[in-house]
């Protein structure tokens, strides 16, 4: 079995300087972590090789060479790079995710190319994938890919990690393709982000854009769950911590000390990008020099800026502004013996960079927004036996873990100035103590652990989905249930109403039974072997109004009322609701737009189906907290259903109604169907040989699952079939129902 790691770029650079292809490994945090990942799976990479070639001969040569490394190239054209990579990925998604809305470009050709390239990746994976393999997709360039793969391989184990910030819903909603992006991501089984903030933003976006609710960190889609988690990416701690012992690094350390002399060295390392806050940092350093002349000639800022996309307009403009600002600072303050800002516009080797980390007295890491920022972690790890201070933007993902850094708002040049002063004046003992505490975290939360944690999370989610799929009703399941049904002489059929027999409505009064439902119930009750019970949380007046003309038994308000032989019975006396309880509920109705209070004889129900998803969930949690003490005193039960909080007596529930029915008569076939958490009481009360079916979300208690309420009536039709003497008319309604059941069977055969 294989683990396929999918990324925009392969961890290799392919160049063609003299007509001959040259291959060099490009080491990065992800590559390092995944290379060291201990797993029983054979690891393979799929991605763009970093070069555009048109000739099939060249593609074949590159492919053969990369195959030796278990690398599989996806060849992209220059148009793809221009529109998919530089376009949609880095001119639309990147600025939006980093809160630079003004820099976001929308072009139809960008989006079209993004779709095409994601499909190219999908095609390559589908060519290679085999049963039992796993796929781990990396980052924002491939957000449609999980959904594309899910359509082709419904049971494939798919993971996705988002390496950049995920923006708040208010910003994400601006994206025209927001729904398509979210649906693409939800094709994965396991989705992870660097911080809990990004995870929270993603959940909020899904709930508000797609109107699908999470239960804590999980969401159910069809017969599987998607789990979301926060997994902060680490570094190769030992590599950086022990770097100063390397003779090459030691020589570089000595060169740097000679170069900077006795000056206090402030170091910043960034890729050229507007999200890194480079100009803000320069303004802060300039302000520091202006207000603290005592440090003139004593402090140097070494700025390492790695070229990136500088041919793109916004990046080229940024480069010009940085050059001008550095020139302005140096022109104003430099002397014959001192240059305030040393500027390096090129990348450094690992040895040179770790030497700079080791020598630097202060690391100035102040991005305006950053997914994680590994520079901050690398700097701290590189301090082996010396001092140093980390100044870190609170907008970087690393700030969540590295609380011993001096954290600042990068938009405030005054805070940057004050932080530099605080760092320069910090006692050596405090510096060492802060470093030790941060190093303790970094030495545990390494890149290896990050990779292992992700794969473990993916494995656990996929195992859960495998077990949930076994509950999915198939054609074979139908045949088994139908055989038992046909052989039985006394059958008990328990059916919930809302969400099971009838679709959930934003206004509960609109969930009236359809002609198809009435026809199915009539057909079922025509068989004298069937004892049909509608076991619902609805009030008995509504059930009687809608279904009273049918020869079915009913249980209303979770068993507080029941109807047998055409007569309603009450299990409990009418409850007197205290003014305190009613005032709490009314207060939540008043402060939650579009919520409503339903007063039943034996229960109070606060409905929030029509309310804003986030606000409704918040108010539901607040309401439960507010009700706990008063309901405990009054010996009342709080039920949390589907978009409803209900208060009732604990003396009866859907399970107590089942117990009453089973005590009155012996049945050789029992089936129960429901969609809510309250239906679990019904399932638990039934004997082990009963057929229990959860509709929608998958229950740990029920035997089987139907993904959607629309599957219920075809399922019932498939079970009961056409019985002799049932008196079924072959009118158009019945023909339509039978055709629906036939389609249902066909779909089940396909899933099998």
pLDDT band at 744 (very low <50, low <70, confident <90, very high): low
Strands 704-706 and 691-695, sheet pairing: parallel
pLDDT at 729: 38
pLDDT band at 576 (very low <50, low <70, confident <90, very high): confident
Which of the pair, 36 or 171, is modelled with greater confidence?
A: 171
Which residue in the list 361, 496, 539, 679 is annotated as catalytic?
496
DSSP state letters, 634-673 = TT-EEEEETTEEEEE-TT--HHHHHHHHHHH---SEEEEE
Mean local confidence (pLDDT), 457-465: 94
Cβ neighbourhood burial of 23 (10 Å; 0-12, 13-18, 19+): middle
Which of the pair, 642 or 752, is modelled with greater confidence?
A: 642
Of 438, 465, 235, 184, residue with least CA distance to 353: 235
pLDDT band at 725 (very low <50, low <70, confident <90, very high): very low
pLDDT at 746: 56
Q: Which of these ranges, 10-19, 71-80, 387-396, has the smallest mean pLDDT?
A: 10-19
Residue 112 has pLDDT above 90, yes or no: yes
HEC per residue, 675-734: CCCCHHHHHHHCCCCCEEEEECCCCCCCCEEECCHHHHHHHHHHHHCCCCCCCCCCCHHH
Let me know the angle formed at the C-alpha of 91 by 90 and 92, rounded to the nearest 5 degrees.
100
pLDDT digits (tens, 9 = 90+) for 249-296: 999 999 999 888 889 999 999 999 999 999 999 999 999 999 999 999
pLDDT at 618: 86
CB contact set of 333 (below 8 Å; sequence gap of 6+): 289, 296, 340
| Contact by Cβ (8 Å): 105, 89 | no
Q: What is the mean pLDDT of the chain?
A: 90
Q: Which domains does the chain have, with CATH numbers?
A: 2-75+133-230 (3.40.50.2000), 237-441 (3.40.50.2000), 475-571+652-751 (3.40.50.1000), 579-648 (3.30.70.1020)
Let me know the angle formed at the C-alpha of 142 by 217 and 195, rounded to the nearest 5 degrees.
35
Residue 726 has pLDDT above 50, yes or no: no
Residue 749 has pLDDT above 70, yes or no: no
Which of the pair, 402 or 734, is modelled with greater confidence?
A: 402
pLDDT digits (tens, 9 = 90+) for 682-704: 999 999 999 999 998 788 889 99
Distances (CA, A) of 343 to 99, 306, 358, 389, 674: 27, 11, 18, 21, 67
Of 543, 580, 565, 547, residue with least CA distance to 664: 565
How many beta carbons lie within 10 A of that of residue 271, not counting itself?
Answer: 16
pLDDT at 745: 54
pLDDT at 732: 46
pLDDT at 722: 54
Residue 724 has pLDDT above 50, yes or no: no
| Contact by Cβ (8 Å): 683, 657 | no
Q: Which of these ranges, 14-23, 248-257, 322-331, has the smallest mean pLDDT?
A: 14-23
Residue 670 has pLDDT above 60, yes or no: yes
pLDDT digits (tens, 9 = 90+) for 658-667: 998 999 889 9
Report the residue count for the chain: 752
Q: Which residue's structure tokens are 């294989």? A: 2
Residue 54 has pLDDT above 50, yes or no: yes
Residue 740 has pLDDT above 60, yes or no: no
Mean local confidence (pLDDT), 18-30: 76
Mean local confidence (pLDDT), 449-459: 93
Residue 344 has pLDDT above 60, yes or no: yes
DSSP state letters, 445-507 = S-HHHHHHHHHHHHHHHHHHHHHHHTTB--HHHHHHHHHHHHH-SSEEEEE-TBTTTB---SS
Mean local confidence (pLDDT), 459-473: 90
Residue 434 CA to residue 429 CA, distance in Å, equals 9
Indicate if 58 belongs to the active site: no
Backbone angles phi, psi at 297, to 5 degrees: 80, 0
């Amino acid at each position: 079995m294989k683990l396929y790691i999918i990324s925009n770029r392969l961890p290799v650079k392919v160049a063609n300087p003299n007509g001959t292809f040259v291959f060099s490994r490009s080491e990065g945090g992800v590559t390092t972590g995944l290379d060291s990942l201990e797993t029983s799976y054979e690891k393979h990479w799929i991605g763009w090789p970093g070069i555009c070639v048109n000739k099939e001969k060249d593609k074949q040569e590159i492919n053969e060479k990369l195959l030796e490394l278990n690398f599989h190239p996806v060849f992209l054209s220059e148009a793809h790079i221009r529109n998919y990579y530089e376009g949609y990925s880095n001119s639309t998604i990147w600025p939006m995710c980093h809160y630079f809305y003004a820099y976001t470009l929308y072009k139809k050709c960008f989006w079209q190319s993004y779709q095409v390239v994601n499909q190219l990746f999908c095609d390559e994976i589908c060519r290679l994938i085999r049963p039992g393999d796993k796929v781990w997709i990396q980052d924002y360039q491939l957000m449609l890919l999980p959904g594309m793969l899910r359509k082709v391989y419904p049971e494939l184990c798919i993971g996705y990690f988002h390496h950049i910030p995920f923006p708040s819903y208010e910003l994400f909603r601006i994206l025209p393709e927001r729904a398509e992006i979210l649906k693409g991501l939800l094709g994965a089984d396991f989705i992870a982000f660097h911080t809990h903030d990004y995870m929270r933003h993603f959940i909020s976006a899904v709930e508000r854009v797609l109107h699908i609710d999470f239960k804590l960190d999980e969401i159910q889609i069809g017969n599987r769950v998607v789990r979301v988690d926060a997994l902060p990416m680490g570094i190769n701690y030992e590599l950086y911590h022990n770097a100063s012992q390397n003779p090459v690094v030691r020589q570089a350390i000595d060169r740097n000390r000679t170069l900077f002399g006795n000056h206090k060295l402030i170091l910043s390392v960034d890729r050229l990008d507007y999200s890194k806050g480079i100009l803000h940092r320069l303004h802060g350093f300039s302000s520091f020099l202006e207000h603290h002349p005592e440090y003139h000639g004593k402090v140097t800022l070494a700025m390492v800026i790695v070229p990136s996309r500088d041919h793109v307009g916004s990046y080229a403009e940024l480069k010009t502004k940085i050059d001008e600002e550095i020139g302005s600072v140096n022109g104003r303050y430099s002397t014959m013996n001192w240059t305030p800002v040393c500027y390096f516009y090129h990348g450094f080797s690992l040895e040179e960079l770790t030497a700079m980390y080791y020598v630097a007295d202060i690391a100035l890491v102040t991005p305006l927004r950053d997914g994680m920022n590994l520079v901050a972690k690398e700097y701290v790890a590189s301090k082996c036996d010396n001092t140093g201070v980390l100044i870190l933007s609170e907008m970087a993902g690393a700030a969540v873990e590295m609380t011993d850094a001096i954290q600042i708002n990068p938009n405030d040049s005054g805070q940057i100035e004050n932080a530099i002063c605080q760092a320069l004046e910090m006692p050596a003992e405090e510096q060492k103590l802060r470093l030790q505490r941060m190093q303790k975290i970094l030495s545990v939360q390494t890149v290896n652990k990050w990779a292992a944690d992700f794969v473990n999370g993916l494995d656990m989610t996929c195992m859960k989905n495998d077990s949930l799929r076994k509950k999915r009703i198939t054609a074979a399941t139908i045949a088994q249930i139908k055989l038992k049904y046909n052989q039985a002489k006394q059958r008990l059929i328990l059916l919930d109403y809302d969400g099971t027999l009838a679709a959930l409505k934003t206004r509960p009064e609109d969930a009236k039974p359809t002609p198809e439902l009435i026809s199915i119930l009539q057909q079922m009750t025509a068989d004298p072997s069937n004892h049909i019970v509608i076991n619902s949380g609805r009030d008995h007046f509504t059930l009687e109004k809608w279904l009273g003309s049918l020869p079915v038994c009913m249980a209303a308000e979770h068993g507080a009322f029941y109807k047998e032989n055409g007569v309603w019975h009450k299990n409990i006396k009418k409850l007197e609701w205290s003014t305190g309880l009613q005032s709490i509920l009314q207060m939540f109705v008043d402060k939650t737009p579009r919520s409503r209070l339903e007063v039943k004889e034996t229960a109070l129900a606060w409905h929030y189906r029509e309310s804003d998803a986030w606000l409704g969930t918040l108010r539901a949690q607040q309401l439960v907290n507010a009700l706990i003490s008063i309901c405990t005193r009054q010996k009342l039960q709080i039920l949390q259903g589907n978009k409803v909080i209900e208060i009732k007596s604990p003396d009866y529930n859907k399970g107590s109604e089942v117990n009453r029915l089973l005590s009155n008569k012996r049945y050789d076939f029992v089936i129960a169907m429901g969609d809510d958490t309250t239906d679990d009481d019904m399932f638990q009360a039934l004997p082990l040989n009963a057929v229990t079916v959860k509709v929608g979300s998958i229950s740990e208690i029920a035997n089987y699952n139907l993904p959607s309420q629309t599957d219920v009536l075809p399922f019932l039709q498939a079970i009961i079939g056409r019985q002799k003497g049932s008196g079924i008319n072959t009118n158009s309604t019945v023909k339509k129902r039978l055709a629906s059941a036939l389609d249902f069977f066909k779909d089940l055969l396909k899933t099998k």
